[in-house]
């Protein structure tokens, strides 16, 4: 029996990296996974890969910054699967710039819209479904950048700090209704966002006590725990998975 057997899991932003690893693992652990992203061909390829391993999976193309598309997604999932047990808000972008060069529209607004506003919009859409069920687990992807200072990533870090704060607040508000809200805070993780040997990798890696970056699967293991009933008494936490980066 899988650790999330029979759960309906909606993952926002899973065509690559951490989201893809999470969709793959949760499907392997018995969930019905619905995942999104903007890239239709890539999404369909990931869907085929997971299905070929026996996973129950559906890709739904959706830009998480477009409200009508998010609404159509949730309507589709509820109509087709009847419930949403787990929402994993994972869509994100990282745009480097030192403080004086932050472009407010193309960096700050885009970062906030993708990393933060989309999470709020999705939670507003999914929460009524979970309230009706009297149960649900929401996992928001934050970052160690939301905890420690990262001079080249101020909008990004601000978006992730806000994610942690909103997660705390919603956890407190909806604990009595059976809905758990937790965040994960990945450290340096190799994906399309952060490639091995990139400037970002070279800048961050020396500060990682474990002396290596993570694979996306190492984040997926933490997300599986928060999605599963193994974490049934855990809410309002920000699970840091960073090889010790934030305590160094």
HSE toward the beta carbon, residue 107, CA cutoff 13 A: 18
Q: Is residue 156 among the annotated active site residues?
A: yes
Alpha carbon of 175 to those of 122, 172, 196, 234, 238: distances in Å? Answer: 18, 6, 40, 10, 16
Q: Convert residues 95-134 into a mask of x (bound to ligand NAP by CB under 6 A) and - (unbound).
A: -------------------x--------------------
Choices 47-55, 84-92, 120-128, 130-138; region in contact with ligand NAP by CB under 6 A: 84-92
Residue 198 CB: number of other CB atoms within 10 A? 13
Angstrom distances, CA of residue 143 to CA of 32, 114, 203 = 26, 14, 16
Compare residues 131 and 218 and give the one whose CB is closer to ligand NAP. 218
Kindly state whether residue 37 participates in binding ligand NAP, applying the rule CB under 6 A: yes
The residue within the footprint of ligand NAP, chosen from 107, 111, 143, 157 (CB under 6 A), is 143
CB count within 10 Å of CB 159 equals 26
From 37-45, 50-58, 71-79, 95-103, span contacting ligand NAP (CB under 6 A):
37-45
Out of 81, 156, 190, 233, the active site residue is 156
Check binding of 17 to ligand NAP (CB under 6 A).
Answer: yes
Q: Total binding residues for ligand NAP by CB under 6 A?
A: 31
Question: Exposed (0-12), middle (13-18) or buried (19+): which is 16, by Cβ within 10 Å?
Answer: middle
Which part of the chain contacts ligand NAP (CB under 6 A), choosing from 74-82, 129-137, 173-181, 182-190?
Answer: 182-190
Our finding on whether 24 is near ligand NAP (CB under 6 A) is no
CA distances (Å), origin 4, targets 137, 142, 161, 186 = 12, 22, 28, 22
Work out whether 65 is an interface residue with ligand NAP (CB under 6 A). Answer: yes
The residues facing 59 across adjacent strands are: 35
Neighbours of 106 (CB within 10 A): 11
Question: Which residue from 51, 193, 210, 234 is in contact with ligand NAP, where contact means CB under 6 A?
Answer: 193
- Kindly state whether residue 71 participates in binding ligand NAP, applying the rule CB under 6 A: no
Q: How far is the CB of 242 from ligand NAP (least distance, A)?
A: 8
Give the whole-angstrom CA distance, residue 231 versus residue 233.
6
Strand partners, 189: 214
Which residues lie near ligand NAP (CB under 6 A)? 13-19, 36-39, 42, 63-65, 90-94, 114, 141, 143, 186, 188-189, 191-194, 216
């Amino acid at each position: 029996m899988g650790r999330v057997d029979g759960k309906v899991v909606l993952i926002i932003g899973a065509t690559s990296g951490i989201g893809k690893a999470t969709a793959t693992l949760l499907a392997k652990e018995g969930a019905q996974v619905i995942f999104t992203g903007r890239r239709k061909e890539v999404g369909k390829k990931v869907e085929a890969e997971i299905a070929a391993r026996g996973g129950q999976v559906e890709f739904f193309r959706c830009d998480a910054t477009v409200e009508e598309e998010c609404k159509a997604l949730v309507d589709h999932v509820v109509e087709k699967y009847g419930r949403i047990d787990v929402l994993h808000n994972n869509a994100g972008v990282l745009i480097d710039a030192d403080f004086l060069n932050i472009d407010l529209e193309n960096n700050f607004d885009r970062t906030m819209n993708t990393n933060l506003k989309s999470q709020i919009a999705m939670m507003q859409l999914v929460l009524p479904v979970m309230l009706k069920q009297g149960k649900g687990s929401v996992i928001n992807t934050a970052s160690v950048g939301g905890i420690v200072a990262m001079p080249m990533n101020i909008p990004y870090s601000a978006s992730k700090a806000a994610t942690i704060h909103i997660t705390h607040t919603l956890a407190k508000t909806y604990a009595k209704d059976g809905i758990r809200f937790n965040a994960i805070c990945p450290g340096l993780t190799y994906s399309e966002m952060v490639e091995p040997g990139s400037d970002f990798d070279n800048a961050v890696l020396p500060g990682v006590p474990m002396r290596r970056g993570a694979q996306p699967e190492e984040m997926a293991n933490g997300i599986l725990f928060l999605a599963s009933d193994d974490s049934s008494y855990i809410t309002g936490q920000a699970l840091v998975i960073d090889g010790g980066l934030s305590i160094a």
